[in-house]
Structure 1
């Protein structure tokens, strides 16, 4: 059998106080890059969204090194997504006794890190498993329509006697 081995680890940040659009413009720059390159990009970008994303990337890499025992040089960011979270709504008092609504959007950020060395290991094992599987001859099964009892008993249902349309009042 093929050994199932985990090659991806993620970190999730929820209810981060910023707009999803502002976080997406930073996330789009780091998606698919290596860990070292991502850190350099996040340190040099002038956006406020870089700080929580930097912490999440660092957390995802720490999870990968702890859970998988992988090296930081082999890690890439395979998936990074930003979803909208809840909106915090407040009311600010204004002139003449009126109120002005204030909406503070939040977002959920997910960073998925993949270990490329483990990916190659799993692909080699999968190819080896596939070669062994193709060498073994398959037993042919009879189709379902070729069974011994070809004819089955049919029962007749009458709509008047079996609670059909006319029983309802």
Structure 2
């Protein structure tokens, strides 16, 4: 068990963004879409999504990839988002002046975002193989090793199969 932790330490690179002014719920909506995807695919998704949370997440992923290429010498084309976390940060509290000398409290939520990238080129020649390392990366999709197809979580409502709401 100890060897696995040491090996992951040298194959994973992370970037941490703290005190980002948005609620954790809005940031998780974006993070759930990109978890387990490749670096290049993630950048395309984030550029096309219309949410305000995409820009700080885009900057964090770009920073984590720069850390991987500069500090560890990894190739950006073989990077995969292995872990993406959003935690709640401290709430900034302000007072807004109102009529008749009263004040109105304003609460600005913040969040901490952690992006972890893994180099999958190191896992292609291992005993477990590329597909086994990818199977544990994404919780919302699983890969069938015989047909190399990805199946997403679906649910049935009114006779129609719909995608999972995330």
TM-score, normalised by the number of residues in structure 2: 0.70
Alpha-carbon deviation of 1:119? 2.8
Which residue of structure 2 aligns with residue 9 of structure 1? 13
Which of 35, 45, 52 in structure 2 is aligned with 1:48?
A: 52
Alpha-carbon deviation of 1:73? 1.1
CA distance in 1, matches of 2:70, 2:93: 39
Q: What is the number of residues matched between the two proteins?
A: 123
Q: How well do the aligned residues superpose, as a CA RMSD in angstroms?
A: 1.7
1:22-41 residue pairs with structure 2 within 5 A?
22-41=26-45
SS at match of 2:90: strand
1:1-169 residue pairs with structure 2 within 5 A?
4-5=6-7, 6-120=10-124, 123-124=126-127
Q: Contact between 1:7 and 1:119, CA under 8 Å: does it hold in 2?
A: no
Q: Which runs of 5+ in 1 are unaligned?
A: 125-169
TM-score, normalised by the number of residues in structure 1: 0.69
Alpha-carbon deviation of 1:103? 0.4
Q: Which runs of 5+ in 2 are unaligned?
A: 128-166
SS at match of 1:66: helix
